[in-house]
């Protein structure tokens, strides 16, 4: 990555932090801490690593991202808005009644959200299922998931890790 590219990513990460704070400020509630610490990783994923196209959010060959620590969605919403999935103005309506962006990600209402999450431990299990689906259907999309350090103490996360490990050895497609 050259210097100009790095600078662009740093600027994007700053905009994502600002967007997350803007949302939480207007909602007067939410989770700013875990959102801010997620910004750099989200920037790298959405602006460098993942193969996604905001014009085709349901493309079956797209890479997937599951925010298992769903309470940090202000950062994910800011990332998706910056990427072009929906207007940045939506961030100011975070958690408002009837608004598209609610306190936890909802895949039915929000373009770019690949999994509804919020109950800690469940998202990564869904992500493992998506990865297995890719293998079984012969597709090469990748599935990324972000967890919180506290969330990792959920028993379901351990079960998901065992499931993923087992399937990576036994599913040869
Ligand atoms: C199953 C479940 N239990 C409790 C909660 C309530 N809750 C929301 S955020 C949170 C703390 C999460 O901490 P961590 O995973 O470390 O995330 P971060 O510090 O990055 O915000 C808890 C307990 C929840 N969402 N789901």
Q: Which of 24, 71, 103, 118 to mutate to test the pocket of ligand 1 (most atoms within 8 A of CB)?
A: 71
Kindly state the average pLDDT of the residues 84-109: 98
Ligand 1, atom 7, lies closest to the CA of 120
Host domain of residue 130: 3-169
Q: How far lies 46's CA from each of 35, 50, 66, 81, 152, in Å?
A: 15, 6, 12, 11, 23
Ligand 1, atom 16, lies closest to the CA of 150
Closest atom of ligand 1 to 121 CA is: 1
Decide if pLDDT at 171 tops 90. no
Q: What does DSSP say about strands 64-67 and 143-146: parallel, antiparallel, or unpaired?
A: parallel
Q: Which of 151, 154, 157, 160 to mutate to test the pocket of ligand 1 (most atoms within 8 A of CB)?
A: 151
Decide if pLDDT at 169 tops 80. no
Distance 131 CA to ligand 1 centre (A): 24
User: Residue 132: which CATH number?
Assistant: 3.40.50.970
Distance 19 CA to ligand 1 centre (A): 21
Question: What is the token pair recorded at 137?
Answer: 């259907």
Number of folded domains that form the chain: 1
Q: Which of 119, 121, 150 to mutate to test the pocket of ligand 1 (most atoms within 8 A of CB)?
A: 150
Q: Using CA atoms, how far apart are residues 21 and 33, in angstroms rounded to an integer?
A: 9
Q: Using CA atoms, how far apart are residues 35 and 71, in angstroms rounded to an integer?
A: 8
Share of the chain above pLDDT 90, in %: 96
pLDDT at 172: 60
Q: What is the pLDDT of residues 42-74, one digit of tens each?
A: 999 999 999 999 999 999 999 999 999 999 999
pLDDT at 120: 98
Decide if pLDDT at 22 tops 90. yes
Decide if pLDDT at 173 tops 60. no
Q: What three-state secondary structure class fits 145?
A: strand
Distance 97 CA to ligand 1 centre (A): 23
């Amino acid at each position: 990555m050259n210097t100009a590219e790095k600078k662009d990513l740093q600027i994007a990460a700053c905009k994502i932090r600002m967007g997350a704070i803007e949302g939480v400020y207007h909602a007067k509630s939410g989770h700013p801490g875990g959102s801010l610490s997620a910004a750099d990783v989200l920037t790298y994923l959405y602006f460098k690593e993942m193969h996604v196209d905001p014009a085709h959010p349901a493309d079956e060959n797209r890479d997937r991202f599951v925010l298992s620590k769903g309470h940090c969605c202000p950062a994910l919403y800011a990332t998706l808005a910056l990427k072009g999935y929906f207007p940045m103005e939506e961030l100011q309506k975070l958690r408002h009644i009837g608004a598209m962006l609610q306190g936890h990600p909802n895949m039915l209402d929000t373009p770019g959200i690949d999994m509804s999450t919020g109950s800690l431990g469940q998202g990564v299990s869904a992500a493992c299922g998506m990865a297995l689906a890719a293998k079984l259907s012969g597709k090469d999309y990748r599935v990324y998931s972000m967890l919180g350090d506290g969330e990792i103490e959920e028993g379901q996360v351990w079960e998901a890790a065992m499931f993923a490990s087992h399937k990576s050895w036994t599913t040869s497609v």
